[in-house]
């Protein structure tokens, strides 16, 4: 009886015979993501630079107040400076190229250092005719319409009775009119008590009388209807 032959001993596989893996190398994936991140960062930087250039291009040179200017005072070259601001439809400052046209115009209201200069804050010339005078009237709270007066408004400067005065029928009303027609030239900012100073243009014949009553605190202002 023959002895069965022993099974062949398998030989180890060589490197060439080993199975090839199909999974992508991990290091190669990492390199791809790193490259993509660099591209994204480059795009973001480019967009940021473009936005900065666009923003700088939208800035414009305008006029600003270089120092405080009281209402009624004419503007001098040293009162005005040039500032750069971003374009904004809500802002209407005077362009820097118009600086020469504002010199000599009066401040229709108190101008504060650092504020932008707009046309509504200025009035042309002295605001007075050849036969007119300017009178400053100190008006306390309740003696003028609150917040509605503006340069150019027509008003009545009404003389109010002095405190403690009794009606006197013997006074000649023709010699002391109860009101004076006037035009608002400029208005100061209210102080802590709400008192303002309103500069009024009046006829020469009415100037001294109005100044006298104003000094005694006996003037109240009534605004006339504005024309449309």
3-state secondary structure the chain: CCCCCCCCCCCCCCHHHCCCCCCCCHHHHHHHHHHHHHHHHHHHHHHHHHHHHHHHHCEEEEEEECCCECCCCECCHHHEEEEEEECCCCCCCCEHHHHHHHCCCEECECECCCCECCHHHEECCCCCCCCEEEEEEEECCCCCCCCCCCCCCEEEEEECCCCCCCCCCCCCCCCCCCEEEEEEEEECCCCCCCCEEEEEEEECCCHHHHHHHHHCCCEEEEECCCCC
Are residue 108 and residue 136 in the same domain, yes or no? Answer: no
Are residue 114 and residue 144 in the same domain, yes or no? Answer: no
pLDDT at 132: 82
* Neighbouring C-alpha atoms within 13 Å toward the C-beta of 131: 3
Are residue 151 and residue 210 in the same domain, yes or no? Answer: yes
Are residue 136 and residue 219 in the same domain, yes or no? Answer: yes
What is the arithmetic mean of pLDDT over 130-140? 86
Are residue 149 and residue 215 in the same domain, yes or no? Answer: yes
Residue 8 in domain: no
Tell me the torsion sign for CA atoms 207, 142, 138, 73. Answer: negative
Domain count, the chain: 2
Using pLDDT thresholds of 50, 70 and 90, give the confidence band for residue 103: confident
Condensed to tens digits (0 to 9), the pLDDT of residues 162-175 reads: 776 655 555 555 44
Give the predicted TM-score (pTM) of the model.
Answer: 0.50
| Range with lowest mean pLDDT among 24-28, 43-47, 120-124 | 24-28
Using pLDDT thresholds of 50, 70 and 90, give the confidence band for residue 211: very high
Residue 205 in domain: yes
Are residue 154 and residue 212 in the same domain, yes or no? Answer: yes
Are residue 78 and residue 97 in the same domain, yes or no? Answer: yes
Residue 218 in domain: yes
Distance, in Å, from the CA atom of 77 to the CA atom of 80, rounded to the nearest integer, reads 6
pLDDT at 3: 59
Looking at the DSSP bridge assignments, the partners of residue 95 are 62
Q: Which of 57-66, 119-128, 135-144 has the highest mean pLDDT?
A: 135-144
What is the arithmetic mean of pLDDT over 79-84? 91
Using pLDDT thresholds of 50, 70 and 90, give the confidence band for residue 49: low
What is the arithmetic mean of pLDDT over 47-75? 74
Give residue for tokens 């005072």: 73
Are residue 91 and residue 147 in the same domain, yes or no? Answer: no
Are residue 136 and residue 116 in the same domain, yes or no? Answer: no
Residue 66 scores a pLDDT above 90: yes
Residue 27 in domain: no
Are residue 210 and residue 137 in the same domain, yes or no? Answer: yes
Are residue 150 and residue 181 in the same domain, yes or no? Answer: yes
What's the domain range around 183?
132-161+177-223
Residue 192 in domain: yes
Using pLDDT thresholds of 50, 70 and 90, give the confidence band for residue 181: very high
pLDDT at 4: 62
pLDDT at 185: 83
Residue 99 scores a pLDDT above 80: yes
The residue count for the chain: 228
For the domain that residue 88 is a member of, what is the CATH number?
3.90.1210.10
Are residue 65 and residue 143 in the same domain, yes or no? Answer: no
Residue 44 in domain: no
Residue 25 in domain: no
Distance, in Å, from the CA atom of 162 to the CA atom of 214, rounded to the nearest integer, reads 11
Residue 11 in domain: no
């Amino acid at each position: 009886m023959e002895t069965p032959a022993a099974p062949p001993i398998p030989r180890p596989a060589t490197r060439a015979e080993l199975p090839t893996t199909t999974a992508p190398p991990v290091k190669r994936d990492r390199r791809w993501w790193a490259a993509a991140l660099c591209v994204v960062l480059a795009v973001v930087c480019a967009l940021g630079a473009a936005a900065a250039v666009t923003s700088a291009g939208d800035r414009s040179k305008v006029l600003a107040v270089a120092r405080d200017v009281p209402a009624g005072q004419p503007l001098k070259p040293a009162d005005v400076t040039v500032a750069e601001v971003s374009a904004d439809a809500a802002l209407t400052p005077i362009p820097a190229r118009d600086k020469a046209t504002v010199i000599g115009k009066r401040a229709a209201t108190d101008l504060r250092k650092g504020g932008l200069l707009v046309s509504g804050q200025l009035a042309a010339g002295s605001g007075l005719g050849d036969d007119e005078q300017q009178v400053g009237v100190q008006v306390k709270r309740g003696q003028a319409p609150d917040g509605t007066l503006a340069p150019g408004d027509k008003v009545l400067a009404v003389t109010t009775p002095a405190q403690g005065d009794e009606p006197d029928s013997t006074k000649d009303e023709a010699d002391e009119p109860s009101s004076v027609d006037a035009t608002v030239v400029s208005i100061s900012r209210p102080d802590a008590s709400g008192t303002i100073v309103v500069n009024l243009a009046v006829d020469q014949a009415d100037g001294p009388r109005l100044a006298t009553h104003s000094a005694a605190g006996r003037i109240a202002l009534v605004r006339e209807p504005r024309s449309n």
